[in-house]
Structure 1
Amino acid sequence: MSEGNLTVLTQSSGGNAGGGAIVDLEFGSATDLRKKLDGMKQKLNLTKEFFREVMQEGVDYGIIPGTDKPALFKAGAEGLCEFYNLAPTIPPGGKVEDKNHETGYYSVDITIRLIHRMSGSIIAEGVGHANTYESRYRWRWVSERDLPKGIDPRGLVSKERDGKYGKFVQYRIENDDMHSIWNTVLKMAKKRALVDAVLSATRSSGIFAQTQEELDAYLSGHDPDGDPEGNPVPPPPRQNRQQGAGNRNQGSTGSRAASGQGATSDKNRALELSKQMNGGNMDWNWLAERASEALGRQIQKVVQEVQANEWRTVVQYLEQYGTGPEDDTDFNFEDLPEDLR
């Protein structure tokens, strides 16, 4: 076997028991492979540095409720696209929809292709699916007082929650207006496809396969498994890393909180998200239900009962409950060459 080659034995098409062909697969010289390896290492180190110095927890990535590992958000995926000079596109045939106007069922599969802006090369593709039968879209959780008339709560799925004034029960009912969330479902599929493509293009899937503690250690320059002597290395306080991560957006959460404006901005963001998720109308009961789920206690009057330091938690929950960060806008293809749009 020559340098850089892999010799394999393949089964012949004639199906003879001992038959086969010797095939040499050319992978390049050892020098070429070494250059490629060094280049991959440098890119991974740059990605790590980008995460540490630019990306913000809770904005670009964070813990999705119900999981214990960080996930890349749409805002973070877009930041990585900007960093690597990649443009998201939907290729021909990359959008497949299934609509039922009578029942309100809607499903969509999206393929996002990442194009390198300078060369026009295809770097990666990602796929995303969403449909109205997902639990977040198909069902609503309401208190007994908010149940539609004529519905017997004894036949409904229920769950008990701990609230500020004790335990309370919520009931699951079917969303009776599926058509109004078709656009939200479409945007969710796009977001999932974009994140899938970016994770593949930047080789950062491994970063988000770690726990929060491992990610903190990794981004802080420590080995999550310990130091060379085998001793655990605790990560530095997470707030220190966050304070240094606001370079991309000086008006973001960290600096606003330091000036006492963070709570007000988070509150405004929560109200904005609530309005977006309800077709442009402010539904205070809906927001109270989401705040109750996010904070684990019964919220009836959102403005009065949600504390200033709790609005960030409500915002994070709303961002993952529905459209996600900045998900009210589509991808911008205007700066792409005409043949790549």
Structure 2
Amino acid sequence: MSEGNLSVLPQSSGGNAGGGAIVDLEFGSVADFKRRLTDMKAKYDFLQEFFKTIMVKDEDFGVVPGTQKPTLYKPGAEKLCELYGFAAIVKSKEEERDFETGYYRVNHTLQLVHRASGIVVGEGVGECSTFESKYRYRWVSENKVPTHLEKADLLFEEKEGQYGNYKQYRIPNEDLFSQWNTVLKMAYKRAYVGLTLQCTRSSGIFTQDEGDMDEYADVPEEDRKKAKGRTANANSGRFQGGAHQSGGRSGSGQPTGTVQKNRVLKLMKDFELGWDGLAEAASMALGRQIVKVVQDVKAEAEWKKVGDFLEQKPDGGAGFDPADLPEDL
């Protein structure tokens, strides 16, 4: 019997001895497990540092009112895939269309591929249709209910406004065709975000709770804005993210301590630099050895120097060899 396998003992002719029992063999030594544990902890610490220094609240992730865990947005998923050197490809797309009713359903199957090696690291599915409530219906005030609809037959919600209580009614969306492109993008986003969480092992930090997101998206826009305002203070401390809790904001509306970092990240993407290439550029800009940019570059002023250096170079620093995946990941 080889190490790392399960073996089934043969059936004994007498009693229950043997009995087809599965024997759990040893999967490596204690030293092997300790080494793996140390390696996993280092990777997790690096990922946490990435979230603290790169991810921007309300741009890359956000907290949906009524939920506990931050929800990962597509821009945040794209940053994670950039970190890991992953690229998404569409394996298949299934569509159903009805040009009479406006019904449209699309199913995306995506694969994440490690760019440097070409290895497929995961596969995920995302689906969306115009018959989901947020596309099939819309909310309107009482005076905007079409005359051919009976208010008694419609769902409604009572609201409190500046001038007293009022009602909003849910009516069918008369133009489902205008939702087709949105539905197409939503199916892709669901597959992409879910697959990113799976392949980067980020589910412990973020969620992709479509139930929460769908319910939130079905709320009228004005009520969503009110809900965000009421929960802003309560949500501000839910994500432990260093730079996001620095307290101040820049003139662009971003938290202070993240503007120059995100500028550098954008330049890195524009020039198609890998993490090794960015580290080389940072070393030249700062005049000292930079191995892991997000760990070795701390001060906002240093991030600015790196950004200025990249902008001065027409190609971000000719001769950089992109490295799609950090060595310890």
Is the pair's TM-score, using the shorter chain for normalization, greater than 0.5?
A: yes
Matched residue type, 1:107: R
Aligned to 1:335: none
Q: In the TM superposition, what is the alpha-carbon distance from 1:101 to its structure 2 partner? A: 2.4
Query: Are 2:257 and 1:244 equivalent residues in the alignment?
Result: yes
Whether the 8 Å CA contact 1:208–1:215 is kept in 2: the answer is: no
Where 1:203 maps in the other structure, the secondary structure is coil
Q: 1:74 to 1:42 in 2, by over 3 A?
A: same
Q: In the TM superposition, what is the alpha-carbon distance from 1:203 to its structure 2 partner? A: 0.9
- Written as runs of structure 1 = structure 2, the 5 A alignment for 1:181-330 is 181-208=179-206, 212=235, 215-217=238-240, 219-220=241-242, 239=248, 242-250=255-263
Where 1:83 maps in the other structure, the secondary structure is helix
Aligned to 1:89: 89
Where 1:243 maps in the other structure, the secondary structure is coil
Whether the 8 Å CA contact 2:107–2:125 is kept in 1: the answer is: yes
**How far apart, in 1, do the equivalents of 2:120 and 2:107 lie?**
20
Matched residue type, 1:106: Y
Q: TM-score, with normalisation over the residues of structure 1?
A: 0.59
Q: 1:60 to 1:23 in 2, by over 3 A?
A: same
**How far apart, in 2, do the equivalents of 1:101 and 1:170 lie?**
29
Whether the 8 Å CA contact 2:137–2:173 is kept in 1: the answer is: yes
Q: In the TM superposition, what is the alpha-carbon distance from 1:170 to its structure 2 partner? A: 0.9
Matched residue type, 2:56: Q
Unpaired runs of at least 5, structure 1: 222-234, 252-341
Q: In the TM superposition, what is the alpha-carbon distance from 1:245 to its structure 2 partner? A: 2.8
Aligned to 1:261: none
Query: Are 2:110 and 1:112 equivalent residues in the alignment?
Result: yes
Whether the 8 Å CA contact 1:126–1:195 is kept in 2: the answer is: no
Where 2:255 maps in the other structure, the secondary structure is helix
Map Cα deviations across residues 236-259 of structure 1 (whole Å, 9 max, x no partner): 6655893223344349xxxxxxxx
Q: 1:30 to 1:119 in 2, by over 3 A?
A: farther
Q: 1:138 to 1:30 in 2, by over 3 A?
A: same
Matched residue type, 1:157: L
Aligned to 1:57: 57
Q: In the TM superposition, what is the alpha-carbon distance from 1:48 to its structure 2 partner? A: 0.9
Q: 1:166 to 1:62 in 2, by over 3 A?
A: same
Q: In the TM superposition, what is the alpha-carbon distance from 1:214 to its structure 2 partner? A: 6.8
Aligned to 1:79: 79
Matched residue type, 1:85: G
**How far apart, in 1, do the equivalents of 2:6 and 2:107 lie?**
40
- Written as runs of structure 1 = structure 2, the 5 A alignment for 1:151-162 is 151-162=149-160
Unpaired runs of at least 5, structure 2: 209-233, 265-329
For the aligned residue pairs, the C-alpha RMSD in angstroms reads: 3.6
Matched residue type, 1:175: N
**How far apart, in 2, do the equivalents of 1:220 and 1:249 lie?**
15
Q: In the TM superposition, what is the alpha-carbon distance from 1:73 to its structure 2 partner? A: 0.1
**How far apart, in 1, do the equivalents of 2:62 and 2:169 lie?**
28
Aligned to 1:123: 121
**How far apart, in 1, do the equivalents of 2:4 and 2:165 lie?**
67
Where 1:207 maps in the other structure, the secondary structure is coil
Whether the 8 Å CA contact 1:207–1:215 is kept in 2: the answer is: no
Whether the 8 Å CA contact 2:69–2:205 is kept in 1: the answer is: no
Aligned to 2:314: none
Aligned to 1:164: 162
**How far apart, in 1, do the equivalents of 2:134 and 2:75 lie?**
21
